[in-house]
Amino acid sequence: MSSSLYIPENYKSALSLRETQHAIKYIKDVFQQALSFALTLDRVSAPLIVRHGNGINDDLNGVERKVDFDIKETGETAEVVQSLAKWKRMALYRYGYSAGEGIYTDMNAIRRDDDTDNTHSVFVDQWDWEKVITREQRNVEFLKNTVKDIVKAIVFVKRKVSLRYPCLKMPICEDVFFITTQELENMYPDKTPRERERLITKEHKTVFIMQIGGKLASGEKHDGRAPDYDDWGLNGDIFVWDYVLDNALEVSSMGIRVDSDSLARQLKECNAEDRMQYDYHKLISDGTLPLTIGGGIGQSRICMLLLEKAHIGEVQSSIWSDDMTKKCAENGITLL
């Protein structure tokens, strides 16, 4: 597992352990306020577990194993959420939100099949958000404007953090460069998707890579995406250049959600039309659920970016291999 670990040359944390803990709380307090203001969102409580078999849990790429357990009192099987993409849309419907209004929440998940490295942990913590939109707002321009609002919120928090901790000097570019996965493949046809992400983000510093989930002209996918929450033509990932890791850091995955047409099309493409048995999918198909845009913003990734950390384990407590823990300790990376 340590083969995926990157050790920056002469790395030394700018903040002590105690300062880091104070700074993590400060970032989380300030960012959620900035995000709420930028996107007009209310904070709500969200589940850690959902019932097995109700179609609400996120399938991610469709192959990740969920963490599940039986409940003694009811005999039911519960699953730890992998994300809240579907739950949030249902919540907006249940709570009676209208166009222009939305919610955000703290999402904690366990992704047992993720490979750990500097930026990946089996423990996932995000600000999950979702907002009701109109039919007329289901377009690329609205998506881009929302991305710009999120990036502005990140840059605002960066300024606040740098004022409090002047030793943190690495910049974040506020100007977002937009590009589709097909345009990126055309630019770098001989590179892997991860290599393309690194090259384009190194050049432009803050990038939104659009249209993730469907097959490209090469017949390959840039990345996997479940067919029943994002519209693959109206989604994407935000990447920011991480000067400590000398690499692109994905800080958010987001998109305009499927309507009845895109849901049917994407389920068919993935041979997953059996999911139409679930209430969630039926409520999209018949137009009951509101049209929405939403996504997740990595809490620990934002913290490691703003605090100039070399490993996500410096800003969150998780489990790492003995080999990775040892190599980090030998190179001045203190895992919590």
Q: What is the pLDDT of residues 9-40, one digit of tens each?
A: 889 999 999 999 999 999 999 999 999 999 99
Q: pLDDT by residue (tens digit) across 206-246?
A: 999 999 999 999 999 999 888 988 999 999 999 999 999 99
Angle at 153 between CA 239 and CA 303, to 5 degrees: 60
Give the residue among 329, 283, 327 at the shortest CA–CA distance from 1: 327
Backbone φ, ψ for residue 215 (5° rounding): -80, 145
Of 59, 125, 231, 250, the catalytic one is 250
Q: What percent of the chain has pLDDT over 90?
A: 71
pTM metric for this prediction: 0.91
Please report which residue ranges of the chain form alpha helices under DSSP H.
17-39, 85-95, 140-164, 181-187, 193-204, 260-269, 279-285, 299-306, 322-330
| 67 occurs within a structural domain | yes
Q: Mean pLDDT across the stretch 122-134?
A: 94
Q: Mean pLDDT across the stretch 247-274?
A: 94
Residue 62 above 80 pLDDT?
Answer: no
The rounded Cα 28 to chain-centroid distance in angstroms is: 16
CA distance 135 to 52: 32
| 53 occurs within a structural domain | yes
| 336 occurs within a structural domain | no
What's the sign of the alpha-carbon dihedral 48, 51, 53, 56? negative
| 283 occurs within a structural domain | yes
| 335 occurs within a structural domain | no
Q: Does residue 58 carry a catalytic annotation?
A: yes
| 209 occurs within a structural domain | yes
Residue 336 · residue 320 · CB < 8 Å: no
Of 82, 211, 252, 253, the catalytic one is 253
Of 58, 59, 79, 117, the catalytic one is 58
**Domain with 220 in it: what CATH number?**
3.30.930.10
Of 83, 126, 137, 252, the catalytic one is 126
Of 89, 111, 138, 198, the catalytic one is 111
| 158 occurs within a structural domain | yes
Q: Does residue 237 carry a catalytic annotation?
A: yes
Residue 64 above 80 pLDDT?
Answer: no
Q: Does residue 45 carry a catalytic annotation?
A: no
Query: What Å distances lie between residue 84 and 49, 55, 90, 136, CA to CA?
Result: 10, 12, 10, 25
Q: Does residue 70 carry a catalytic annotation?
A: no
Residue 7 above 60 pLDDT?
Answer: yes
Domain that holds residue 267: 2-330
Query: What Å distances lie between residue 153 and 27, 35, 173, CA to CA?
Result: 11, 6, 12
Count of domains for the chain? 1
| 317 occurs within a structural domain | yes
SS3 43: strand
What is the pLDDT of the chain when averaged over all its residues?
Answer: 92
Number of CB atoms found within 10 A of residue 157's CB: 23
Q: Mean pLDDT across the stretch 152-157?
A: 97
Of 117, 237, 308, 314, the catalytic one is 237
Give the residue among 297, 250, 41 at the shortest CA–CA distance from 150: 297
Q: Mean pLDDT across the stretch 67-75?
A: 85
